[in-house]
Chain A
Amino acid sequence: QKNKFYYYHQHFRRVPDITDCQFGDYLCYYEAEMQWRRDYKVDQEIIGILQERLRACQQREGNSYVQNCAKELEQFKLGAKGYQSRYGDLGAYGSARRCLMKQKHRMIEERVKAVSEA
């Protein structure tokens, strides 16, 4: 091949989050929303890679995958639990705002649970 050409990974600058935006500052909302969507995509890819690792491990080990793949299984379980609790049931119209509301509900439940246990 004579002419080599390259492709790069795009670096995006970090912009203020939704929680750092003034109320009614729609431009800030838009930038935070775009950043949240990019992070969502990155998280999806991460989960995909963990799945691939687990799949490859199972294929390699054959019938003894239950005990030999414990590390990959742990990684995947951790990642999947975090993904589910953060992005889990947002649905097709998920947005940064809805994700924030989900986090708020999660924190409320944690607080209620802590109070009821104490």
Chain B
Amino acid sequence: MAVLSVLRAAAALVVRRSPHKLQHLAGNNLLRAFPIASKVAVRLGSNGKQMFAIKSSQYYDRRFLHLLRFYILLTGIPMAALITFVNIFIGEAELAEIPEDYVPEHWEYFKHPITRWISKYVYDPPEKSYEKMMALISIETEKVDLRQKHLEVRRLMRERGDGAWYQYETLDKNLIDNSQKTNPDY
């Protein structure tokens, strides 16, 4: 502040010493309308007491906003430029009837060129995901069928006893000693 006031005093002195030099320097026509510095009533308002305004620090807030703006615009500006150029120079597709004997590709059902590009190079065709889902469902259906059959087979084999399962090994009946059964217990 002190430096500023010194500078200001020096500037005032220079202008006061050569009031008309400015006008001669810059050509008479342009600066004739400028008032002479020493004759104008200037109100600098420097008779108030100098105050130190106690505020909280704005360093962190300003830094945050600066960084936010920077990182958003880092990809925002190229994206905005790209989208503008695509909209202006490439333009959207036109609606047309499907020609005879022509099967359009899966990306030819979209209007905007960027959606078409994404559908062509990034996404799978919707037919593919449909078929994948159908394959999963068919596998699960087969599993359900087989499990049901398994349970039914178990039930029948146990009930009828003439199947391959539920066969248990027992002793040979020739090994049983029947001699004690010939005598009664009394």
Q: Mark B118-138, 1 if CB is under 8 A from A, else 0.
A: 000000000000100110011
Q: Which of B40-48, B52-60, B90-98 contacts A (4 or more CB under 8 A)?
A: B90-98
A7 near B108 with CB under 8 A, answer yes
A-chain residues with CB within 8 Å of residue B27 when the two chains form the complex: none
B91 near A7 with CB under 8 A, answer no
* B155, CB-defined interface residue at 8 Å: no
* B32, CB-defined interface residue at 8 Å: no
* A14, CB-defined interface residue at 8 Å: no
B-chain residues with CB within 8 Å of residue A34 when the two chains form the complex: 130
B137 contact from A6, A8, A11, A27, Cβ within 8 A: A27
* A30, CB-defined interface residue at 8 Å: yes
Question: Given the interface contacts A1-B91, A5-B93, does A30 sit within 8 Å of B98 by beta carbon?
Answer: no
Interface size class of A (residues with CB under 8 A): 10 to 19
* A13, CB-defined interface residue at 8 Å: no
A7 near B94 with CB under 8 A, answer yes
* A26, CB-defined interface residue at 8 Å: yes
Interface size class of B (residues with CB under 8 A): 20 to 34
* B111, CB-defined interface residue at 8 Å: yes
A8 near B94 with CB under 8 A, answer no
Complex Cα–Cα for A6 and B111 (A): 8
* A116, CB-defined interface residue at 8 Å: no
* B104, CB-defined interface residue at 8 Å: yes
A-chain residues with CB within 8 Å of residue B108 when the two chains form the complex: 5-8
Question: Given the interface contacts A26-B140, A27-B141, does A8 sit within 8 Å of B98 by beta carbon?
Answer: yes
Question: Given the interface contacts A27-B137, A27-B138, A27-B141, does A6 sit within 8 Å of B130 by beta carbon?
Answer: no
Complex Cα–Cα for A2 and B98 (A): 21
Question: Given the interface contacts A26-B140, A26-B141, A27-B141, does A8 sit within 8 Å of B109 by beta carbon?
Answer: yes
A30 near B137 with CB under 8 A, answer yes
A7 contact from B95, B130, B137, B138, Cβ within 8 A: B95
B-chain residues with CB within 8 Å of residue A59 when the two chains form the complex: none
Complex Cα–Cα for A5 and B92 (A): 8
B residues engaging A (CB < 8 A)? 91, 93-98, 104, 108-111, 116, 130, 133-134, 137-138, 140-141
A sample of 25 cross-chain residue pairs with beta-carbon separation below 8 angstroms, ordered by A number, consists of A1-B91, A4-B94, A5-B108, A6-B95, A6-B96, A6-B108, A7-B93, A7-B96, A7-B116, A8-B95, A8-B96, A8-B98, A8-B108, A9-B95, A9-B98, A10-B104, A10-B109, A26-B137, A27-B134, A27-B137, A27-B141, A30-B133, A30-B134, A31-B134, A34-B130
Taking A5-B93, A8-B96, A30-B137 as given, write out 11 further A-B residue pairs in contact, using a Cβ cutoff of 8 Å, ordered by the A residue number. Answer: A6-B108, A7-B94, A8-B95, A8-B97, A8-B109, A10-B104, A10-B109, A27-B134, A30-B133, A31-B134, A34-B130
